[in-house]
Structure 1
């Protein structure tokens, strides 16, 4: 995947997120970690499933709400003009939940998505996944 300089790469799952910025150019990807505000679960998000004693799925509901919180953060960044381009790399389940909450402003700057869980992987692994997705 060719990423312009300054592209933000969000690497996430249902529990954590790492943000990177491409400090290289389209020909030479070079990701650097960037600081970000704490992401909180979007408690107002309806996941469509209600945990009960017969089906205790509290963990999945929390992960879905965290995924929605990630998108809420990215939507805010896109609407505020703080990011020009973004790529989302997320665990397949988290990515599916995240897609439900994209604002049109975020969709407009979204360069791509990779359905892969790389949150616990090295920066080199993230860069390899982005390069392989060309």
Structure 2
């Protein structure tokens, strides 16, 4: 896959959010890191199943089950930030790489304009990986 010059790459997993821009050519991408914004993680009810609503508060905390809510909220916050950037015309070409669960949460939040600039999605955990490995995963 050709990755146009200027394309923004968003890597998301349950806890991390990384941004890169292709400063190279379509055939020879060079991913340069971009500053990562402070996400406003406010939607902690994301992904909550109906039967969880009636559980006492203590049943949902302290045992790690709360982590899935935090991870969903993180993915939603990343999608909301990306939507805002696209709507402000700060991102014109976008690739999203996220673990399958985060990608599923994010897809629910995509604005139509984000869908219009989205070149590719990859359901894979790549946050923290070297940029050459990221490019290789996209080409594979």
Structure showing greater Rg: 2
Query: TM-score w.r.t. structure 2 length?
Result: 0.86
Distance 2:90 2:36 in 1: 12
Provide the alpha-carbon RMSD of the alignment: 1.8
**Unpaired stretches in structure 1, ≥5 consecutive residues:** none
Say whether residues 1:93 and 2:101 are aligned partners. Answer: yes
Q: Distance in 1 between matches of 2:125 and 2:36?
A: 20
Q: Which residue of 1 aligns with 2:76?
A: 68
Deviation at 1:9, TM superposition (A): 0.4
Q: CA deviation at 1:123?
A: 1.5
CA distance change for structure 1 residues 42 and 106 in 2, over 3 Å: closer, same or farther?
farther
1:25 is aligned to 2:25: yes
> How many equivalent pairs are there?
132
Q: TM-score scaled to structure 1, two decimals?
A: 0.90
Equivalent residue, structure 2, for 1:79: 87
2:113 to 100, 105, 109: 105
Matched residue, 1:6: 6
